[in-house]
Structure 1
């Protein structure tokens, strides 16, 4: 199923637009809480076209990813609160509350391990950012440590891409294009593995 490949092609079209920086900011923002395409698919061709602006583009993407992560955090918190009556009517609220409370207890007891998982999840492409931002809001991860983890994880991604483009140029972009489908689905597997590892370890 070429889900990620088709969305990748669409994002490449945005990268060639005269308002590409605005589209990059928008993509980075919404990807943090809902959209399934990583900003790197726009960053790579934009950086190739203007290598001297590689880190400018990386920083734009990082800034709006952080803003988007706050939206995802808020959505996770307020959506969960708003849905409590519905979940209760479906007899789902009690087990969900139990799971959330267990996570909160583990977060309090093993907060360094949790922050490591958050930073690693933010480093993964495509899907994890949505899960991380929403789940953090539901569980109640403190906002400042949450943002630091997003900054470290996402910052490494965009800055690493900027370095690769500056050093290797088109070869780096061709590799991304060739393996986008594998990267997308591998990211999902990695996220699930991180979640299972953290849960089993604590």
Structure 2
């Protein structure tokens, strides 16, 4: 948890969240949680950093989908084995796309597929922005609330059961890469 208190940690958190919304599979949660536990008084700030990174990174994902789908966008979706899911999303009506964006943004699944597909489908940029802001701010705020008020108990539990907690985290992250393509 010492890295969570480093002065550059918020910048790293922003960068990870930015690229997670557009190109990278690396989620910000493994950095956000220890940062909020180490400094519960800054949980709201960290949630704001993540929200800003997710929204600005979402615009990069949108641009990739709108301008570079054939080269970069399709390649990124292919890396994660999400071609079938992307094809399914293409057939989603523009009338429902806002709700897809809102729902996917409230979950820890890779948000990049939705941002890239939003650009590819030329989804209304204003609706895209509203959906992104609502969903990502809400998602990170829920984490901040939990860690702000229960962070000490979580920290004590993690310190007491560190090996099992680390193993569980690895299983969830690695398992997520195998399960995710099946449920998206």
Which interval holds the TM-score relative to the shorter structure?
0.7 to 0.9
Instruction: Tell me the residue number matched to 1:21.
Output: 10
Structure 2: state its 5+ residue gaps: 73-86, 159-163
Check whether the contact 1:14–1:23 (CA below 8 A) recurs between aligned residues: no
Instruction: Tell me the residue number matched to 2:57.
Output: 68
Check whether the contact 1:30–1:68 (CA below 8 A) recurs between aligned residues: yes
Change (3 A) 1:82 1:149: same
Instruction: Tell me the residue number matched to 2:93.
Output: 107
* Superposition pairs of residues 86-97 of structure 1, within 5 angstroms: none
Q: What's the Cα RMSD here?
A: 2.9
Match status 1:130 vs 2:119: no
Match status 1:165 vs 2:147: yes
Q: 2:133 aligns with which of 140, 144, 151?
A: 151
Q: 1:121 aligns with which of 104, 107, 115?
A: 104
Larger radius of gyration: 1
Give 1:181 shift: 4.2
CA distance in 2, matches of 1:13, 1:33: 28
What TM-score comes out, normalization by structure 2 length? 0.73
Change (3 A) 1:177 1:133: farther
Check whether the contact 1:58–1:158 (CA below 8 A) recurs between aligned residues: yes
In the alignment of these two chains, the number of paired residues is 162
Q: 3-state DSSP class of the match of 1:151?
A: helix
What TM-score comes out, normalization by structure 1 length? 0.67
Change (3 A) 1:140 1:182: farther
Structure 1: state its 5+ residue gaps: 1-11, 84-98, 195-202
CA distance in 1, matches of 2:165, 2:128: 28
CA distance in 1, matches of 2:2, 2:181: 28
